[in-house]
Copies of this chain bind each other. A is one copy, B any other.
Amino acid sequence: MKLKELGEFGLIDRFAAGVPDRASVRIGIGDDAAAFEPAEGHLSLVTSDMLIEGVHFDLALCDPVTLGRKSLAVNLSDLAAMGARPRYFLLSLAIPPSLTLEFLDGFIAGIMQRAEQFGATLVGGDTCSSKGGLVISVTAIGEQLPGLVVRRSGARPGDLLFVTGTLGDSALGLELLRKGERSGPMVGRHLDPEPRVAAGIMLAEAGVATAMIDVSDGLLADLGHILRLSRVGARLELANVPLSPGYREETSSSAGAPLSLALGGGEDYELLFTTPPLFKERVFSLLAECGVGVSLIGEITASGRLSIIGEDGEEYRPARTGYNHFS
């Protein structure tokens, strides 16, 4: 078998297979962040993300400040998906000789903007030279009380399915960037995503969310993670999938399904979560407090499968279900 056939999740399973169970590990491989209990009643949450030139970003299409902002934001989004409060981060950089000091200064400024905004402190890392492109590896550490952390695995039949913000803007922004656009709201959402840190913490601390994930691989792929780990099914109403006015306008003229990027594009960094029906109004009021939009897009079922209902009321089959790093 080749790596390409194994895929990203097959590879992760291969790593996970060799890991022994240890009592102090509260959450291991397979959630948005791992959790360990450094002292009784205290949980540290930790997550790493790597950004590779030529894979995750193109230096010709982004400025150093937004690249710095995004490098931290994608990690903070993983903490947000657990309901954790960001505290510390480490930054490792492999730097090609061609990179200018001006670029690095911009990058530092950007990452520090997001750090300041969300209360995360840079505590360490590594710097070295690269013979290839720029490589950015960030590890973010957060905290939350053990009873409040929200996992991917807690969704139950009957729970409502919500998502924050709007979907597809980032993937559309990437398409527009590749066509030569350099700014605008869609491009902005791709280059400078806003992690839903306050919303994630609020949902966790209010005790309303049963399962949560950040939408980084695409709505259908990330919903799939919740369903698989919670061993449940879901009914997803396409008519309720939140689309921004800009997204609607750009995609209205395209011949293909306008929903394709919203369902499978990825890099939205919105929060997808489930709650028991009695918390429905509470969810709307909590997210209004954070100034973040939220949409009720479906329901968890006991069916064990995902049923997608189109705007015509018929079942819908998506063309694209998410991003595989090795395909």
Contacts and interface: CB of A to CB of B under 8 A. Distances in A.
- Chain A interface: which size bin? 35 or more
Contact of A88 (B1, B34, B127): B34
A309 interface: no
Given A3-B100, A3-B104, A131-B54, A29 B123 contact: yes
Interface string A134-154: 010101010100000000000
Nearest to A75: B126
Q: Determine how many copies of this chain the complex contains.
A: 2
A229 B137 CA distance: 27
A38 B112 contact: no
Contacts of A124: 28-29, 33-34, 46-48
A132 B134 CA distance: 10
A56 B38 CA distance: 32
Given A36-B87, A139-B90, A326 B18 contact: no
Interface string A80-118: 000000011011111101011100110011001000100
Interface stretch (A19-27, A243-251, A266-274): A19-27
A25 to B, nearest CB: 6
Interface stretch (A4-12, A205-213, A278-286): A4-12
A287 interface: no
Contact of A135 (B14, B94, B112, B116): B94
A95 B3 contact: yes
B116 A55 contact: no
Contact of A90 (B34, B93, B116, B326): B34
9 contacts: A4-B97, A6-B101, A14-B105, A46-B139, A48-B92, A50-B94, A50-B135, A54-B132, A55-B131
